[in-house]
Amino acid sequence: MDALLQFLFSGLTVGAVYALVALGFTIIYNASDVVNFAQGEFVMLGGMITVFAFEAGLPLPLAAVVAILITSAIGVALNKLAIEPARGAPVVSLIIITIGASIVIRGATQLVFDKQLHRFPSFSGDDPIHVLGATILPQSLWVIGGALAVFVGLWIFFTLTLTGKAVLATANNRVAAQLVGINTGWVMTLSFGLSAAIGAFAGVLVTPITLVGYDVGVALALKGFAAAMLGGMGNPKGALVGGLLLGCFEALTAGYLSSQYKEAVAFIVILGVLFVMPQGLFGSKSTERV
C-alpha cells in the first residue's frame, strides 16, 4: 500500500512537470494550430536564467521573475522574427520553424551560459513529507500546485475573458476574426509571450527537482507533447489530465512491471487512446473539414 502511494507521488510529481509543458503548448496551439516545439526550451530558459540570476546575487523570487520576463520576451521575439515573416506558410512549415528555433535557443544558451548542469535550492527545503509510509518532497507540491494554478488561470482566460475568446477565434478562422475587429497579429504576439512565460514558470518550479542544463528541453517537449496529445491538443483540462496520467503510467510501470518498459508502456497507452479517440481524452471533435 505504501509502495502504491509512493509510486503515485512520483507519478504526480513527474506528471505535473509534463502537464506544465503541455499547458504551454495549449496557448500557441489555440492561437495558430502550431505545436511549438521550442516550448521545452522555454522551460530550460526559465531554469537557466533563474540559476544565473540567483548566482549573481538576486534573491530567488526576483531571479525567477527576471527569468520569466526575459523568456517571454524571447517568445515574443520568436514570433516577430521567425513565425510572423512566414505568415501564410502551411502549419507544418511553422512547426519546422519552431524546431529550428529550439536548436538556435539551445546553441545560444550553451554560448551565453555554459554546458553544465545546475540547480538552485528548493523553495521550502528538502525535508520529505511523510504520508502513510510514503514520502513526497515539498518542491513536488509546488510543482503540482503550479500546474493546477496555471490550469485554472488558462481555463478562466479561454472561457471567461474576451481576450481569451479572441485567441480561440483567431485559431478558428483568422480572416473572420480580423473582420470582427480582432487584431490577430497582437493575439499571436500575446500567445507566444504568454506561453513562453508559462514555460519559464515551469522551469522555475521544476529545476530544484529535475536540474537544468542547456539540453533538457528536448525530452521535456516530447513528453509534454505526448501528454497534450493524450489529453487532447489545445485543451487546458486535457493538458493537465494528460500530463498527470502519463507521469502515473510511467511510475506505475517502473514500480510494478519493470523500469525497462517504463517509456514503452506509457506510449503504448497513448497509442491505444489515440486509436479509440483520435482527438485525445478531452479534445473537441474535428468537424470543420468537409
Partner 1 sequence: MSKTTTALATFAALGVLAGAAQAEIRLGVSVSATGPAAFLGDPEAKTIEMLVEQLNEEGGINGEEIALTLYDDGGDPNKARTFATRLVEDDEVVAIIGGSTTGTTMSILSVAEDEGIPFISLAGAISIIDPVREYVFKTPHTDRMACEKIFTDMQAQGITKIGMISGTDGFGASMQAQCKEVAGEHGIEILADETYGPQDADMTPQLTRIRNTGGVQAVLNPGFGQGPAIVTRNVAQLGFEIPLYQSHGVASDAFIELAGAEAAEGLRLPGTALLIADKLAEDDAQYEVVTTYTEAYKARYDQEVSTFGGYAHDAFALIVDAITRAGDSEDPQAIRDALEATDGLVGTTGTYSFSPEDHLGLDLSAFRMLEIKDGDWLPVE
Provide the grid cell at 13.
510529481
Contact call for residues 6 and 245 (beta carbons, < 8 A)? no
DSSP letter assigned to residue 72: H
Residue 114 CA: distances (Å) to CA of 49, 106, 196, 235: 11, 11, 21, 36
Least Å distance, CB 107 to partner 1, is 9
Q: Decide whether 119 or 165 has the Cβ nearer to partner 1.
A: 119
Q: Decide whether 53 or 143 has the Cβ nearer to partner 1.
A: 143
Q: Decide whether 29 or 250 has the Cβ nearer to partner 1.
A: 250
Q: Decide whether 119 or 237 has the Cβ nearer to partner 1.
A: 119
Residue 161 CA: distances (Å) to CA of 105, 153, 154: 32, 11, 10
Q: Decide whether 185 or 255 has the Cβ nearer to partner 1.
A: 255
Q: Decide whether 52 or 192 has the Cβ nearer to partner 1.
A: 52
Least Å distance, CB 122 to partner 1, is 9
175-180 contacts, C-beta under 8 A, 24 or more apart? none
Least Å distance, CB 219 to partner 1, is 4
Least Å distance, CB 192 to partner 1, is 25
Least Å distance, CB 71 to partner 1, is 20
Helix (H) or strand (E) holding 134: strand 134-136
Q: Summarize as ranges the residues that interact with partner 1 (CB under 8 A).
A: 3, 6-7, 9-11, 13-14, 17, 110, 115-119, 126, 128, 135, 137, 206, 209-211, 213, 215-216, 219, 251-252, 254-255, 259-260, 262-263
Q: Decide whether 3 or 86 has the Cβ nearer to partner 1.
A: 3
Contact call for residues 191 and 27 (beta carbons, < 8 A)? yes
Contact call for residues 231 and 22 (beta carbons, < 8 A)? yes
Contact call for residues 253 and 266 (beta carbons, < 8 A)? yes
Nearest Cα to 195, choosing from 83, 62, 54, 55?
83
169-176 contacts, C-beta under 8 A, 24 or more apart? 170/31, 170/32, 171/29, 171/30, 171/31, 171/32, 171/33, 171/234
Helix (H) or strand (E) holding 91: helix 91-112
Task: Please give the Cα distance from 123 to 125 (Å, whole number).
Answer: 6
Least Å distance, CB 245 to partner 1, is 16
Nearest Cα to 29, choosing from 263, 206, 279?
279
Least Å distance, CB 27 to partner 1, is 23
Least Å distance, CB 24 to partner 1, is 17
Q: Decide whether 116 or 286 has the Cβ nearer to partner 1.
A: 116
